[in-house]
Copies of this chain bind each other. A is one copy, B any other.
Amino acid sequence: MEATIKDVARQAGVSTATVSRVINNTGGVRSDTVKRVMDAVKYVNYVPNIMARNLKTESSTIIGFVISNISNTHFTKMANKIESILREQGLNLIVCNTADDPNLELDHLQRMIAMHADGIILNTTCKNNDWICELSHKIPMVLVDRNITDPVFLGDFVGSNGYGGVMDLTKHLIEKGHRDIAIITSDLSTSTGRERLNGFSAAMRTIGIVVDDYYIYRYDSQHFSEEDGVAGCQYLMGLEKRPTAIVVINNEMTIGVYKYLHNNDISVPDDISVVSYGNINNSDLFRVEPTFATLNPNFIGEKAANLLLSRIEAPGRGNREIIFEPLLVVNESTKTL
């Protein structure tokens, strides 16, 4: 079916070795034979078989970007940035979506290693930590957003200060006079989930409120999705005594919260204040612009790509961490009590 290097060789009347030299331009071939080979390549429509090539060379030019939610613009913007940087180095980015399913994460990572990818940028589910720690010794790896704090892990991390960011958001509400402040958080087995909740708790402690498992205004959802935001908001709005403000710990869930409130004619910020950890795409066009803590996917993507490149150069180097400091952007979604 597909033309192989042999077909080209036969067509050009040379050996496969020469063809190989030409298509990889290793040099040492007379210019007229180069031309003969090139013509033959065109003629038989030859495309080198990557499988076979990698089998020999023990390398691909593939970088895997494995993410938990391909519909979240936070990640797609990151993907854009990463791709543009890697492409300059002749590397090809491949995006894989785990949908936060640990099994899919394993699948994708297995495939990456099986393809002999040159590196991986991973937004992990945090459910395969041991396995990933082992993997990190075999392939250059950079984690984004969610960290793995295991001494065995070898690689870099780029994320944001979720503790400080959520603390700032919460303090902002406190300064506006709020006390009955709710939080919609998610999967606490992720580093981000824990950190952000801790930031909230720390801020609440300053006004003498303990946020524990029994804190009435706390909702721990399973995922970080819009649907989970809806569910969390529904729960909170169903309470006998409603909170006056909600802290939502990621952008997608905030959208869910906004939609629930809008669909149920609950006004922001008149009836309830809302703050979000992380930018929401196009939120400057929203009826009520959310107050949020900035998260910069371009920044994170750029750092991650560069860390990975330097790690590919020196795979054994020590772990590095880059933490983005979110800024508080105050908009219309919070009112003074």
A interface with B by C-beta (< 8 Å): 1-2, 45, 47-52, 54-55, 60, 70-71, 73, 76-77, 79-80, 83, 87, 92-97, 99, 104, 107-108, 110-111, 113-116, 134, 138, 255, 258-259, 262, 280-282, 284-287
Partner of A49, one of B70, B116, B255: B116
**How far in angstroms is the closest Cβ of chain B from A63?**
12
Residues from chain B with Cβ under 8 Å of A54 in the complex: 51
Nearest CB of chain B from residue A113's CB, rounded to whole Å: 5
26 contacts across the A-B interface (CB closer than 8 A): A1-B138, A47-B110, A47-B113, A47-B114, A49-B55, A49-B114, A50-B114, A51-B52, A51-B55, A51-B116, A70-B79, A70-B80, A71-B76, A79-B97, A80-B99, A83-B97, A92-B111, A94-B95, A94-B96, A95-B96, A95-B97, A255-B282, A262-B285, A281-B281, A286-B287, A287-B287
CB <8 Å contact, B287 and A285 = yes
Q: In the complex, what residue of chain B is closest to A112 when comparing beta carbons?
A: B50
Contacts of A83 in B (CB 8 A): 97, 99
**Chain B residues with CB under 8 A of A259:** 282, 284-285
Tell me the smallest distance from the CB of A167 to a CB of chain B, in Å.
27
A99 to B87, CA, bound (A): 12
From B51, B97, B262, contact of A51 by CB (8 A) = B51
Protomer copies: 2
User: Which of B45, B55, B92 is in CB contact (< 8 Å) with A107?
Assistant: B92
Residues of chain B with a CB closer than 8 A to A51's CB: 50-52, 54-55, 60, 114-116
Kindly provide the distance from the CB of A193 to the nearest chain B CB, expressed in whole angstroms: 22
CA–CA, A287 to B55, complex, Å? 56
The CB with the most chain B CB atoms within 10 A, among A45, A54, A110, is that of A54
Chain B residues with Cβ under 8 A from A95's Cβ?
70, 94-97
Q: Let me know if A94 and B94 touch, CB within 8 A.
A: yes
* Nearest residue, chain B, Cβ from A113: B47
Q: Cα distance A70–B97 when bound, in Å? A: 13
Chain B hits for A49, CB < 8 A: 55, 114, 116
- A259, chain B: closest CB distance, angstroms: 7
In Å, the complex CA distance between A91 and B138 comes to: 25
- CB closest chain-B residue, reference A56: B51
